[in-house]
Amino acid sequence: MRPRKTRLGLVSGGLGAYWPQFPGLRGVLEESARYVTGRFEEQDCQVVDAGFVSDPQESAVAAETLRQADCDLVVIFLTTYLTSSMVLPIAQRTNVPVLLIDLQPTEAMDHANTDTGTWLAYCGQCPLPEVANVFRRSGIDFRSVSGYLHDENAWRRIGAWVSAASARAALRHGRLGLMGHLYPGMLDISTDMTLLSSQFGAHVEVLEFDDLRVRVDAVTDRETADRVALAKEIFALDGSVDPDDLAWGARVSVGLDRLVADFALDAMAYYHRGLDGELHEQLGAGMILGASLLTARGIPLAGEYDIRTAVAMLVSDRMGAGGSFTELQALNFRDGVVEMGHDGPAHLQISSAEPLLRGLGVYHGKRGYGVSVEFDVTHGPVTTFAVGQNRDGSYSFIASEGEVVPGPLLAIGNTTSRVDFGRDPGEWTDEWSATGTGHHWALCVGHRAGAIKAAAELLGIEFIRV
């Protein structure tokens, strides 16, 4: 899938009074600005460069350009000293998160060969306290990165904010699908759709299982056979897989693709109980293959109607961290690990090995039968990421970093990973459960707590780290 690219607004500037005093200075600063633009373009963003400004009038023009561009993050490059009156209108009129950067030309000045004009190219940090003061007094949130042009530590910090902006953009422009109904009794999963729109900016599309049914009915035998062939390419097939069940899962998968395309969905949560083997029960039981394939393509699907976990999966996917549907399975006090996973769907791109399809005669706690995905998340650093909800209705991002380690796993058609959090598994479980998480979350590859915290800041919600 090709999601909308993160739209990054960029404006660079310096004090126009300097240009006649030091004729070569502006050219040096504009060259730095071109380098910065290039680095941002390397981050797979759509960069809207509003140019180089020298006074408040030019800043107002740049602000209007960025406002019309509907940016997800505005970066203001302080190339040298400038007045706060040049920066404030940009933040006010664009009304999106602002990142201030000041990147001097090199690690340090060559003092013996530095005159005033050369020094001024190193003076981008000089206006930072002034701008920060004015932003605070104006009620404008901001963040800043100070460094030098080729400072990879600074660019990593900048990249974290761009990643956070990608997460914000995924929700702000996202279309979330809710198909079916709540799993009876799962009160933690119950979610106010209005809050998803009011706090994240996302659109929520309410779907019926009949929307899927009519699309599955239209799938041809040839399309089904092609999807079976794709499944055999991607998965190892356990001997328990019944060919008819695999064909049904493949047919539902093709129908799911059409449903997602027809409603332009970026993520979806689903559940249907069904009764006595009727068609809707069969559809619900046939979802895991197609849901896993869609999740691997960047359209995460969460089971049991858990739209908040679908949001976490969407954010983590846009951060390049995968994000697989997960819950607690058992605590292993002998090995000091927490075993976690689910009966699908899974994010196939972060599997430690070839994922397995296993045939199940029963889905625990659900009606129906069919094929399910079995896999282990890539071994190494991971992050659990949940979207919690507080008493006042506000959302929170919750994260904990650990490591997936090898060892014995369940072979029951579930995703299962052994996560070592470097502490007693029971103590971790108690602290994690007290945060406001639901009983599902996204399991992401890499240590992502910093990036998740940044995304929470840009969204204006609470961040909790365990």
Tokens 């691997």: give the residue: 296
Distances (CA, A) of 343 to 151, 184, 291, 346, 352: 44, 18, 12, 8, 17
pLDDT in tens, the chain (466 residues): 677 889 999 999 999 999 999 999 999 999 999 999 999 988 878 999 999 999 999 999 999 999 999 999 999 999 999 999 999 999 999 989 999 999 999 999 899 999 999 999 999 999 999 999 999 999 999 999 999 999 999 999 999 999 999 999 999 999 999 999 999 999 999 999 999 999 999 999 999 999 999 999 999 999 999 999 999 999 999 999 999 999 999 999 999 999 999 999 999 999 998 888 899 999 999 999 999 999 999 999 999 999 999 999 999 999 989 999 999 999 999 999 999 998 878 899 888 889 999 988 878 777 778 898 988 999 999 999 999 999 999 999 999 999 999 999 888 888 899 999 999 999 999 999 999 999 999 999 999 999 999 999 999 999 999 9
Q: CA nearest 386: which of 331, 459, 341, 327?
A: 327
Complete domains list, the chain, with CATH: 7-172 (3.40.50.10940), 175-465 (3.20.14)
Distances (CA, A) of 28 to 31, 52, 58, 65, 115: 5, 12, 19, 24, 14
Mark 394-420 as b/e (b = at least 16 C-beta within 10 Å): ebbbbbbbbebeeeebeeebbbbbbbb
pLDDT digits (tens, 9 = 90+) for 222-237: 999 999 999 999 999 9
pLDDT digits (tens, 9 = 90+) for 424-459: 999 999 999 999 999 999 999 999 999 999 999 999
